[in-house]
Structure 1
Amino acid sequence: MVATQQEKSFDVQTAPVKFLIVDDDVVSVMAVKRALKKLKIINPVTIARDGQHALNILRGDCGEDSLLSPYLVTLDLNMPRMNGFDFLEEVRKDPKLHPAVIFVLSTSDAPTDVAAAYESNIAGYIVKDDLGDSFVKALEMIDAYTKVVEMPR
């Protein structure tokens, strides 16, 4: 039996968007997880402790299956081994990873960091200055984004 285009579209749209949280700060990771739980967002979540670990996950190079599309990355900038800017550079050079949707979640509000991140084609820049209500609202916006925008597959 051949699926109609409408059925195919429905199947693609029902695939859950996976979240890849790239952050070395355990408190920030826990805050993201708490916010997701508070918002009743049940999408699969994978954690990477730095940019290199995230690349390994996305490429399937760390003994795990690669994170299959659709996925959305939340990225901290200040991490050991491979920081967020180096990660962005590697992702944008890699034809398979280039379409990745990436939101920066950083404590830095420096205009140079914001500008540099947007030059790497990020979807948005969110300052983690308050891990309370404004942070929950930011994650709520990201969740809405995954439900409204057609994600690369």
Structure 2
Amino acid sequence: MKSIDILLVEDNAADILLTEEAFSEADFPHSLHLARDGVEALAFLRREGEHASAPRPDVILLDLNMPRMGGLEVLDVLKVDHDLRNIPVIVLTTSRAEQDIWRSYNLHANAYIPKPVTLEEFVEVIRSFGAFWFATAALPPDHQP
């Protein structure tokens, strides 16, 4: 299985550690990159400034509630950007609010996953995520046709 690049857009230090641990235990080849808010995520994706050599992620895990630019704003920008709109975006958030779920899908999120509470549940979600997105689904190639 090819190693995949994942951009985690998350501002909460505890959730970052939990996600890193879950990916470590899920045991599939990956590189996890971090942006702590939407502004940094867009800079990473556009390879601006310190992110000039950033890889194009195979998938984005996006929190909704962040400083400077939240996840819904990021989705809105990504899905109208010709160069970035085909990167799958999975909303991974603590919110279970119907309004957030509807807004995420209306902005073309590829999936919405409420964050589990325990590490064991989180690891199982990440395993399922990996099995689907990297063993079952076909991801877009690195270049546009």
Contact 2:89 2:109 in 1 (8 A): yes
| 2:108 is the counterpart of 1:121 | yes
CA distance in 2, matches of 1:106, 1:32: 11
Considering only CA atoms, is the larger Rg found in Structure 1 or Structure 2?
1
In the TM superposition, residue 15 of structure 1 has moved relative to its aligned partner by 4.5
In the superposition, the TM-score normalised over structure 2's length comes to 0.89
Which residue pairs with 1:37 in the alignment?
24
| 2:73 is the counterpart of 1:86 | yes
Point out the more displaced range, 141-150 or 102-111: 141-150
Contact 1:107 1:127 in 2 (8 A): yes
Which residue pairs with 2:56 in the alignment?
68
Q: What 5-or-longer segments of structure 1 have no aligned partner?
A: 1-13
The alignment covers a number of residue pairs equal to 139
Point out the more displaced range, 56-65 or 23-32: 56-65
In the superposition, the TM-score normalised over structure 1's length comes to 0.85
CA distance in 2, matches of 1:15, 1:148: 13
Q: Deviations over 1:44-101 (max 9, x none)?
A: 11000001101100110132213225x1111100000010000001101110000010
Q: What 5-or-longer segments of structure 2 have no aligned partner?
A: none
CA distance in 1, matches of 2:137, 2:30: 16
In the TM superposition, residue 127 of structure 1 has moved relative to its aligned partner by 1.1
In the TM superposition, residue 122 of structure 1 has moved relative to its aligned partner by 1.5
CA distance in 2, matches of 1:129, 1:15: 27
Larger RCO (alpha carbons 8 Å, 6+ apart): 2
Secondary structure of the structure 2 residue equivalent to 1:47: strand
| 2:143 is the counterpart of 1:148 | no
Aligned-CA RMSD value: 1.4
